[in-house]
Structure 1
Amino acid sequence: MSETLSFETKDKRQFLLKNIEIAFFFDSIYTLLSNEYMFY
């Protein structure tokens, strides 16, 4: 029981980390785009 639980938490942690990476990626792109549009 504890093994599956630890595996699930580890899997969830990796999933969250991947989502955070994607969120930061899109956030940086959005910032770049908004900065580009501000110049026009």
Structure 2
Amino acid sequence: MAVGQATKLTCIFSRISSFVAQRQFKAVTVVSAIINPH
């Protein structure tokens, strides 16, 4: 039971961190596009 709970928690955590990483990447892309427009 505890193993299943930990697996679910890890899955949720990795989804959250990948979502945050995507948003940070988008923010960096937008900021760098504003700073140096091509």
Larger fraction in helix: 1
Q: Which runs of 5+ in 2 are unaligned?
A: none
TM-score by length of 1: 0.85
Q: Which runs of 5+ in 1 are unaligned?
A: none
Aligned residue among 22, 30, 33 for 1:32: 30
Q: How many Å separate the matches in 2 of 1:4 and 1:25?
A: 32
Identity of aligned residues (%): 16
Q: How far apart in 2 are the matches of 1:35 and 1:6?
A: 43
Deviations 1:10-39 (A, max 9, x none): 001100100000000000000000111112
The normalised TM-score by structure 2 is: 0.88
1:19 paired with 2:17, answer yes
Paired residues, number: 37
